[in-house]
Amino acid sequence: IGCKSTDCIMDFGCGCGIIPMLFARDFSDAKIYALDIQDEAIELVGRAIKENELKNRVTPLLCDLKQIDKSLFGKFDLVTMNPPYKRVGSGLMTDNEGLNIARFELKCNFDDIVKSAKKLLKTGGMTVIEVALEAGFDDPAYFCRVFKKQTGITAGEYLKKK
């Protein structure tokens, strides 16, 4: 990831908080926000923050990513999400509502994620995902691999140079 130690990072759908914890480990001065719509997830992140003494570096946010406080708009250098999302009806749901929310597009969809990320990013330009889709790639991760192979830098590094 083309990230600097001092960047401001948002992780959507943080779940237990593993991605924010890894960012905190790898980027010593980064300010990290961990957002989730589920109380249980934010409780887990809160425990991880306390156990790892990261109170001043990682901020948990319990909210719907479609209703993020406007004071956060344009503040972030990087917005991430690791969605294991499936479209509703494309797989078996469980009796556990929390698991279903984490696995299916029940509370948000891909477009919601991109729109919210775009509002939060400092550049206000297109996200890497939007660039990939605009370039005709169905898989943004594959686009990122091809981009790095062709240019020698990540798409994120390229966008930071602009």
Pairwise CA distance, residues 77 & 123, whole Å: 8
CB 116 within 8 A of CB 65: yes
Q: How crowded is residue 32: how many other Cβ atoms within 10 Å of its Cβ? A: 27
Digit-coded pLDDT (tens) for 105-157 = 656 777 777 788 888 888 655 667 777 776 777 888 888 888 788 778 887 77
| pLDDT given for residue 57 in this prediction | 95
124 vs 159: which has the higher pLDDT:
159
Pairwise CA distance, residues 89 & 87, whole Å: 6
Whether pTM exceeds 0.85: no
